[in-house]
Structure 1
Amino acid sequence: MSASTFLQHPQIDPVALQLGPLAIHWYGLMYLIAFALFFGLTLLRLRHPTYAALGWGRRDIEDLLFLGVIGIIVGGRLGYALFYRPLEFLAEPLRIFAVWEGGLSFHGGFIGVLLGMAWFAWRRQRNWLQITDFIAPCIPVGLASGRIGNFINGELWGRVADPALPWAMVFRGAGDLPRHPSQIYQALLEGLLLFVLLWLYARGPRRLGEVSAAFLVGYGLLRFTAEFWREPDAHLGLLGLGLSMGQWLSLPMVLAGAALWGWAHRQRATAA
């Protein structure tokens, strides 16, 4: 079968809006949407009895959003350099600042956000897990937004699919074989599904750390699963045990989430 027989990835102009010399790219626009969704959802989280009783307010959310943006950009860029292209960045260290070239790691950004939240906790004299429990249900929709941006750009495509798969798609630059639109899979799994599960779970009364633990385990398992349909990075390929870098980086999240879950339940038993 020829490439024209299959669905073709819609070749969307990466520039969403041109204002004179200023070009607004779809990927940047999706990040702005992600931050707006986070802000709106955290405002709703303020209604939760736990945080209302603790005196949380709009100023807290504004500061958390600012620190989160810094953590995502700095941590995501450093994580990409360290996890995915260490030799290239060691040879040219100044490339770390060339953010216009693209290249952000979720796991690096996640670490950056955690450090930002730790600084916030120290400055406000609040429990760090209280903060991560507060923001955890609001993160997945932002992840979905970012994956949609990947799809629009036609990047991070999936592995070669069965030609009979109705939604198998040919991506420009990936050859003539149909592939899984893994960006959409990730948007649905790590994004929408995880959001629904966490949002519903976090509505009830939870012990300190339980919502954060649910996020770690949920994201780690869903990302690990989605990676089976995503094409590994060409310069890395599959690593030990036939797993991708994304899968290896997700395993510590699952283990950390399970450990945190056990700790939270031991606290419950002690309190009882």
Structure 2
Amino acid sequence: MHFGATLRLLRVDAGVSLRALAQKIGVSSAYLSRVENGHDQAPTPDRLMAIARALDLPPTLLIDLAQRVSPFVARYLEDVPSASYLFLEIARRKLSAAQLARVHAFLEAEFPARGATAGPATPRLHELLAPERVILKLSCSYLGDAIDVAAVRLANAAPGLSAAAIAAEIRERERESPTGVGHGVAVPHALGASVQPVAALVTLARPLPVATPDDIPLQMLLVLVGGGRSPLELLARAARLATPATVADLCQASTPEAALGRVRHVESEFG
């Protein structure tokens, strides 16, 4: 995943200008532009937390996206040395991804993240998908064709919305700022708090040579409509699928059910 492109995606959808975000976190617009364009590394954990607060995102999610988990954990261990015993016990027991997901669920229930608001949790991506909205190895020559196909499937699951309206809004968002997040993945979307979120997954028979942040041709789309209470968090979760291994597995999936299983597995690893 290209962190800079993902940050720009989230910032644009939050309606925050480059200058405004830079001012909020105490950096120059030029620096933030270099980060978004991949010329500078991802910001430090402190700055990532400030960005998360400015965009109303869970700080740990943004830190995960930046692959800055280790420094973040290291700082926490400096502040709370006794936490190292818990990490040691987890390592000693060799907990699996599924077991860690259970530990994470307990933590969320007993010790919600600071700043979390009351209300229903943001749904997982696999909960927004369904076999009929997983389109595998689609043959098309243009990004718009893939968007049109996904829009038809999404309209069937979004009462009151037509496929034409969904496709038009998604294309308008793409014109504003392309939604490629790297490793051949794009997240075209039409967000709206009044519409319950629903998603479609599209893999392509042949990569599309469209402009991407890392120059890797487009291989997969995760198309989102709606958003509920945390549309930016949905986008951030979608961006986490943009890893070489996950993209390869999803593009090679032979059935919609196999693709959904892979998405569910990736999300369980993140907790």
TM-score after normalising by structure 2: 0.26
Higher relative contact order (CA 8 A, sep 6+): 2
Higher share of residues assigned helix? 1
